[in-house]
Amino acid sequence: MNKTLLLFIVDFLFLNLIALTRWERAEPVRPRQPPVNEISANAATKDQDLVEAMKQSLTEEQIARQALEQKLQSSDQTLAARERTLGQLQSESQRLTAQLVDTQRSQADLNMRYQGVTQENSLTRSELAQLQRELEDKKAEAERQKQALAALEKAQAEARRQIEGLTVAVAVSEREKQDLANRASDLAGQVQTERAERVKVEQATNQLAQGVGQLAENSGALTREIRDNRPISPNVLYNDFLANRVGASFSATRKGLFGKNTRERESKTVFTTDGRQVYALLEVEDTPFSLREIGSDWEKISVRFDRAPDYRSNAAQVQFLEADPRVVVIPVDARQVAALGAKVYPLAADPFKFPEAVLISGAGNGYGQLGFKIDPEHRGYVRVDNRIFKRLFGEFAPTRGDLVFSKTGELLGIMVNNDYCVLLGNFAPTATLFTGDEKPGQHTASLIDSLSSRIMQLPIELQ
């Protein structure tokens, strides 16, 4: 320990000693005298004054004694505190003295070592300064290295933390990767399962669609079969027939002995079809042509359809059917059918489905149900049973020109006499007459005669 430090410690102890010492003295407390009672001031006697003076003196003495005791107690406490402080200061002084002795001893050793080193190495001041500078440089370099080492350790710690964070992130990523792989495997299994189920569903759907399609076809066929096999009331058929008749006007002109000879007919017809062409159906006697007389060369033929109030339309042909020339059809185009607004009756696909048929008078006078039978000797004709004919409306007997319908509303044929009905399976013509002015080249006389001859060649029951 050097002298400067020792002086500093001594000064510090001395100042503490001065600061802890109480130099002020306590002044005695002066007792306050009680006020004199104004009422009895002048009434007191001398003895009383003496007693009062003694009491007052005694009181002041007690107060002074109490104050002195308090001061003495305070002084004792202060003295005890000072003694404790002094003991502490003495202990501290002894400790510091021991440290000073040690310091001085250390300093002497250092001086001796310094002198020894100085004597042994014989260093000059310049060499010592150089060494000190080198030492300072080494210290600075060591400090820089220390700072660099601290920075390096800090960087290593930061890198270690980053590595730890990356390790944790890699572990988390590996776990997520494993989870994703597991989920992908599960999804792949689900996809395979769904694909298999989808294939099954598609197969079931296709089977169901086929079943539904087949069911629809069967249902449609069943519906058609029910419709085709469901009898219609004769009243409905007759009312339908009357509502769909179309007026047809015929006119034929030829040369006569005294000029032009014209024959006209007004008839009612219905439309029928074979699925390809629509025709107006009539019996030959409803036209100007007759197979019961000698034929004539008609030079001008016209056929006109009328509809109220003012619709008129002409036909281009009159055809005699191959099945029976007594049946006449007139081709009608789609515009005429639409304009006339008449129902088109289809031909019966199975004429023998029902044992009975509905016969409607060609003139619309009545209708009824009758049975018919297949005649094996006269193919293409059926024989109606007049004996059990049930007339539902009107008094009439079956005759040529009456129309025969199946009980489902399809056209079976037309009566050629009172007993037989020709079945209409098609409308193939055996002869055709064209309408219009000046048609002498058609030779209608020979055509009608040939048709009449064909009818005459039929069995007597069919004529």
Q: Give me the CATH number covering residue 348.
A: 2.40.10
Q: Which of 317, 407, 311 is nearest to 367 (CA)?
A: 407
d(CA 144, CA 136): 12
Domain identity same for 266 and 344:
yes
Residue 11: inside a domain, yes or no? yes
Domain identity same for 93 and 174:
no
Tell me the pairing of strands 300-307 and 278-283.
unpaired
User: Token match 């002894």: residue?
Assistant: 94
Domain identity same for 145 and 11:
no
Helix H or strand E segment including 332: strand 327-332
Residue 272 burial by Cβ neighbours in a 10 Å radius (0-12, 13-18, 19+) = buried
433 within 8 A of 442, measured Cβ to Cβ: yes
Boundaries of domain holding 156: 136-193
Q: Which of 335, 292, 289, 337 is nearest to 433 (CA)?
A: 289
pLDDT at 237: 92
pLDDT at 26: 45
pLDDT at 121: 60
Mean pLDDT by 10 residues, the chain (463 residues): 69 74 54 49 59 76 75 67 66 67 70 67 68 80 80 79 78 80 82 85 83 70 66 89 92 82 92 94 92 85 88 92 94 92 91 87 86 85 73 70 92 92 92 81 87 92 88
Q: What are phi and psi of 24, to 5 degrees?
A: -80, 150
Residue 280: inside a domain, yes or no? yes
In this structure, what is the dihedral angle of CA atoms 347, 353, 357, 362, given to the nearest 10 degrees?
Answer: 10
Domain identity same for 104 and 141:
no
409 φψ region: left (φ > 0), alpha (ψ -120 to 50), beta (else): left
Q: Which of 280, 286, 245 is nearest to 267 (CA)?
A: 286
- For residue 337, give the 3-state DSSP assignment: helix
Beta bridge partners of 404: 359, 413
Q: How many whole angstroms from its chain centre is CA 309? A: 59
Instruction: Count up the domains in the chain and report the number.
Output: 3
**Helices vs. strands in the chain: H and E counts, helices first:** 6, 15
Residue 2: inside a domain, yes or no? yes
Domain identity same for 258 and 352:
yes
Residue 432: inside a domain, yes or no? yes
Tell me the pairing of strands 259-273 and 344-346.
parallel
Residue 118: inside a domain, yes or no? no
pTM for the predicted model, two decimal places = 0.51
Domain identity same for 143 and 252:
no
Domain identity same for 305 and 355:
yes
Q: How many CB atoms lie within 10 A of CB 447?
A: 20
Domain identity same for 68 and 157:
no
Residue 258: inside a domain, yes or no? yes
Domain identity same for 287 and 160:
no
User: Token match 């009612």: residue?
Assistant: 268
Domain identity same for 169 and 302:
no
pLDDT at 255: 82
Beta bridge partners of 251: 264, 302
Q: Angle at Cα 347 formed by Cα 343 and Cα 349, nearest 5°? A: 135
409 within 8 A of 300, measured Cβ to Cβ: no
Domain identity same for 425 and 286:
yes
pLDDT at 327: 95
Residue 43: inside a domain, yes or no? no
Domain identity same for 165 and 276:
no
